[in-house]
Amino acid sequence: MGRIAIITDDPGWHGKQLTQAFAKLGFASDFVSLTDCRLNIESGRIPVVIPGFEHELPGAVFVRGIPGGSLEEVVFYLDILHALKLLGVPVYNDGRAVERSVDKAMTSFLLHQAGLFTPMTWVLRSSADAFNIAENELKNGHYLITKPLFGSQGEGIRRIEKMTDLFWLTPSSGVYYLQRFVRCAGDGFSDYRVFVIDNRAVAIMRRRGKSWLNNVARGASCEAVDLNPVIADMAVKAVQTLAMDYAGVDIIQNSSGQYVVIEVNSIPAWKGLQSVFQNDIAALLAEDLVDRHINRKNRFNVTAVSC
């Protein structure tokens, strides 16, 4: 039975949870950094070289983290994931899914195209146009959020609230990602994180931010709430739109009661969610990967041989 490669530079709590969950299913796993992987394009050799898997490719790959870097470095890391998939190795979530969701512009575009409620968003290069959009939004009584295209855990996100804040309106790596701020329903600040695995919403929590930034990494607290069918349905549709095996979906309920999808994470952390959820999330992920991608594949292979 092939060992599983857990792609991460920082195994930590999540790495331990996954290792234990795979072990319970009879699979050994190893941590691998994409920075140590190579493409060896020579005849007669496995073209993707992963430390510890030089003689046999992994039975599956669980993507827990992709290092940052230059565009070329990130493209290369994704090349490794794409190549593994093309070589028949299940990659969970695969490189295409990671690509679509790491890029906030493409996520917003795809969500909107699929008819899901997502905030008005503008992505552009021109400073003059960015200032015009921001000024217009402020004049019409809206706050504006600016985000880095490739960002996570609330890093680099700013809120433009008044004309003098326009001073802070700068592009991130040359690109403006501007989004209308959604005022949330209820007291204070909160949003929902929904965990979807294999097209099913399996867990939810409310994140209550110290400010409008509701990331757990920014100090938001986690509260258990019931999963209502409207949020569940929206989260599942968002994940289907981005074609992911599993994801963490950020949803805000606006002051009119409408749910709005903010983000779909293809490499979500779940430590906060686990603290308010009874079932073992790592086990659910490991079971899904093994069931749908390893066992099913093996079943098909056996059928093919016996035909």
Residue ranges that bind Mg ion, judged by CB under 5 A? 250, 263
Output the CA torsion 139→145→149→151 (10° steps): 170
CA–CA dist 222, 67 (Å, integer): 27
Q: CB-wise, 269 or 286, nearer to Mg ion? A: 269
User: Counting contacts by CB under 6 A, is residue 151 touching ligand ADP?
Assistant: yes
Quote the DSSP letter at residue 293.
I
Kindly indicate which of the ranges 4-12, 92-100, 149-157, 275-283 contains the residues binding ligand ADP, using the contact rule CB under 6 A.
149-157
Nearer to Mg ion (CB atom), residue 18 or residue 157: 157
Q: From the CB of 13, what's the least distance to ligand ADP, in Å? A: 19
Q: Are 169 and 137 in contact (CB under 8 A)?
A: no
Encoded amino acid at 243, one letter: A
- Partner that binds at residue 127, options ligand ADP, Mg ion, none, CB closer than 5 to 8 Å by kind: none
Q: Does position 154 bind ligand ADP by CB under 6 A?
A: yes
CA 101 to centroid of chain Cα atoms: 6
In the range 77-116, which residues lie near ligand ADP by CB under 6 A? none
Is position 212 an interface residue for ligand ADP (rule: CB under 6 A)?
yes
Site for ligand ADP in 247-266 (CB under 6 A): 250, 252, 262-263
Determine if 119 is a binding residue for ligand ADP (CB under 6 A): yes
Interaction partner, residue 212 (Mg ion, ligand ADP, none; CB < 5-8 Å by kind)? ligand ADP
Terminal Cα distance for the chain, rounded: 23
Nearer to Mg ion by Cβ, of 17 and 107: the residue is 107
Residue 152 contacts ligand ADP per CB under 6 A: yes
Rg (CA), the chain: 21
Site string for ligand ADP, 156-195 (x = CB under 6 A): -x---------------------x-xx--------x----
Smallest distance, Mg ion to C-beta of residue 66, A: 16
Q: Render 49-101 in DSSP notation, one character per residue.
A: E-TT-SSS--SEEEE-------HHHHHHHHHHHHHHHHTT--EES-HHHHHHH
Query: Residue 264, SS3?
Result: strand
Lookup: tokens for 85: 């998939």
Span interacting with ligand ADP, options 23-31, 55-63, 133-141, 150-158, rule CB under 6 A: 150-158
Give the nearer residue to ligand ADP in terms of CB position, either 29 or 253: 253
CA atoms within 13 A on the CB side of 74: 13
In the complex with ligand ADP, which residue's Cβ is closer, 47 or 156? 156
Q: Which residue is nearest to ligand ADP (CB)?
A: 214
Q: Hey, what are 62's tokens?
A: 């669980």
Rounded Cα gap, residues 156 and 178, in angstroms: 12
| Alpha-carbon span 148 to 71, nearest angstrom | 14
Where does this chain bind ligand ADP (CB under 6 A)? 119, 145, 147, 151-155, 157, 179, 181-182, 191, 209, 212-215, 250, 252, 262-263
